[in-house]
Amino acid sequence: MRIAWDISHQEFTIEDHYYFSILKRELKRRNIDVFELDKLSDILKEKADVLVINYPEKPFSRGDVDIVQRFLNRGGKVIVLGYYANEDGIAATVNSLTKHFGLVLRADRVYDPINNDGGDEFLIVTSRVLNFNRGVRKVLFPCSASIKILNEKASAIVEAEDTARSNLGGDPILMVMLSFGKGTLILGGTCVFWDNYSIGKYNNKEFSLNLLLGRRSRIIDFFCGKMP
């Protein structure tokens, strides 16, 4: 399995030791090849299973969208991650790609005064992990925006608890997935649930690996007779 980590749109790189060395180490332990992609079109030349777009700061062109669509059509998984409060114009930048699939990152802040880490209402903790949840009971989603679903075929992966709120209103959905062609597009409201601060908390490591490696949900495994 190979994971392409895009840096062509000025994203955070997995080679940043301070933020992502633990995630990189966990993938290396599993013999997963992770490589940087400094030109998005190269994803169509490389033998990659997953494309990660982690906090892009450079908008996507129509040509970029076409490249992502082609990668999805042939069975790839694309994970696009943002951040809260429209920092660095992140909502508009992410949406220059994901709006073409009917997924929108909102320019909001999700907060939870009850279910949080260390009393910080922006460090959201939730047990509502609906997919990629093998071995997962709770995850920490720090500084997350919420997602607006315009495509009825999309479904939630992570929802905040009922105690959470958005400063723009609505029920906060923190991560969603959409089948497109033979592939899957995933949009998350935060890019730091798998950084070095968060990955060791709750079941963030298990969730992060499930997300990248495609491990299915507990519900799907139950109906397939694969529950432990």
Task: Give the Cβ contact number of residue 197 at 10 Å.
Answer: 17
3-class state of residue 203 by DSSP: coil
**Residue 220 pLDDT greater than 70, yes or no:** no
Q: How far apart are CA 228 and CA 199, in angstroms?
A: 24
Cβ atoms 6, 40 nearer than 8 A: yes
Task: Return the amino acid letter for 50.
Answer: V
DSSP 58: S
Q: What is the pLDDT of residue 217?
A: 52
d(CA 159, CA 51): 23
Q: What percent of the chain has pLDDT over 90?
A: 88
Q: What is the C-alpha to C-alpha distance for residues 228 and 208, in angstroms, rounded to an integer? A: 20
Mean pLDDT computed over every residue of the chain? 93
Beta bridge partners of 51: 4, 78
| pLDDT tens sequence across 101-136 | 999 999 999 999 999 999 999 999 999 999 999 999
Question: Is the pLDDT confidence value at 209 over 90?
Answer: yes
Neighbour-count burial of 150, counting CB atoms closer than 10 A to its CB (0-12 exposed, 13-18 middle, 19+ buried): exposed
Q: Amino acid letter at 42? A: D
User: Residue 38 corresponds to which tokens in the numbers above?
Assistant: 């400094």
* pLDDT of 142 over the 80 cut: yes
Q: How far apart are CA 201 and CA 141, in angstroms?
A: 10
Asked if the model's pLDDT at residue 216 lies above 70, the reply is: no
Instruction: Provide the 3-class DSSP secondary structure of residue 66.
Output: helix
227 pLDDT above the threshold of 60: no
- Residues 140-165 have a mean pLDDT of 98
User: Tell me, what's the pLDDT at 12?
Assistant: 85
